[in-house]
Structures are given as structure tokens and as C-alpha cells.
Amino acid sequence: MNEMRELKAKFAHEMDIFVREHIDDENLFEIWLREGVPDGADEDYLYDLLECPEVWENIRQCFGYICIEAGFLGESEV
């Protein structure tokens, strides 16, 4: 297993948990499902998904956007 991809899969899974537990805005949550982590994705699925480097960048950017929009981060903190 690729160690960096494995770490990114774990991190993406933790981002998914955070969004599901702390984002109450339905529109932001829909963005997350569409552009971040799809519904039902576990670490193994994410590991396979992250074979494509662009997927990680999309998840990372989507998480940052959602955190800014939800008020958890300022734009300069991302």
C-alpha cells in the first residue's frame, strides 16, 4: 500500500465525519457529497478513489470551501 495515499484516505474519511457531524446546511452538505466524499465511502473506497491525484485536490478544496462557508475558518486560514 502507498503510505501517503493511505494517510490521505484516512484524512479524507475524518473530513467526511466532520462534515456529517458539524455541517447543518443542506446545500453545503450536497456540495460535499457531489464534490468531496461520496455517500457511503469508507477508507478502503477512498484509498482506491485517491489513485487519481485530482481526487485528493478536489476533496481538500471542497472541505476548505465548506469550512469557510459554514464559518469554521476564515478564507486566510485555508
Which pTM value belongs to this model?
Answer: 0.87
Contact 54, 44 (CB under 8 A): no
Q: What is the pLDDT of residue 78?
A: 53
In this predicted structure, what is the pLDDT of residue 54? 93
Q: Got the DSSP string for the chain?
A: --HHHHHHHHHHHHHHHHHHHH---HHHHHHHHHHS--TT--HHHHHHHTTSHHHHHHHHHHHHHHHHHTTSS-GGG-
Q: Which three cell numbers mark 61?
A: 478544496
- Please list the rounded mean pLDDT of every run of 10 residues in the chain (78 residues): 90 96 95 94 91 93 95 68
pLDDT of residue 75: 66
The confidence score (pLDDT) of residue 76 equals 62
Residue 27: how many other CB atoms lie within 10 Å: 9
**pLDDT score of 72:** 85
Domain boundaries, the chain: 3-71
